């Protein structure tokens, strides 16, 4: 059961694999989160409603604009959304680059869903506490 302070949090999922988008969306919805899915970095950036999202799950390797470019665009635009990177490429350089970009965490696919949910919950609760001060 979700903490009432983060109930109805909206999480964007950007991944070019339909099965990953669907699986993550179903998992997050079962935990009480709202989700919106995007099949590419371009489609997410074109939505131009980035500030409405409370969290972003972002694949590193996307066709076209990759996850790092999406993250940089958000930073350049002054949009502060917590990001978790996911990738089938699990090398140390990719992980370091993801975390160095300010991401909350990096998960290699297949994703450890318990750890993912824990990171999302802890981050959203922490942001909610900060907003109350």
Residue 93 lies in a domain: yes
Non-local (6+) Cβ contacts of 115 within 8 A are 105, 107
Residue 2 lies in a domain: no
pLDDT band at 102 (very low <50, low <70, confident <90, very high): very high
CA distance 9 to 52: 10
CATH number of the structural domain spanning residue 52: 3.40.50.2300
Residue 15 lies in a domain: yes
Which domain, by its residues, includes 112?
A: 7-132
Tell me the pairing of strands 83-87 and 55-59: parallel
Residue 86 lies in a domain: yes
Could you give the number of structural domains in the chain? 1
Residue 92 lies in a domain: yes
More confident residue, 63 or 19: 19
Residue 67 lies in a domain: yes
Residue 1 lies in a domain: no
pLDDT computed for residue 6 by the predictor: 58
């Amino acid at each position: 059961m979700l903490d009432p302070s983060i109930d109805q949090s909206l999480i964007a999922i950007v991944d070019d694999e339909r099965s990953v988008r669907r699986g993550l969306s179903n998992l997050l919805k079962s935990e009480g989160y709202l989700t919106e899915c995007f099949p590419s970095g371009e489609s997410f950036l074109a939505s131009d409603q980035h500030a409405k999202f409370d969290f972003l799950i972002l694949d590193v390797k996307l066709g076209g604009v990759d996850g790092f470019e999406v993250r940089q665009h958000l930073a350049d635009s002054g949009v502060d959304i917590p990001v978790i990177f996911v990738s089938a490429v699990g090398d140390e350089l990719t992980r370091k680059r993801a975390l160095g970009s300010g991401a909350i965490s990096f998960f290699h696919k297949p994703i450890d869903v318990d750890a993912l949910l824990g990171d999302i919950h802890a981050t959203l609760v922490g942001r909610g506490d900060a907003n109350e001060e």
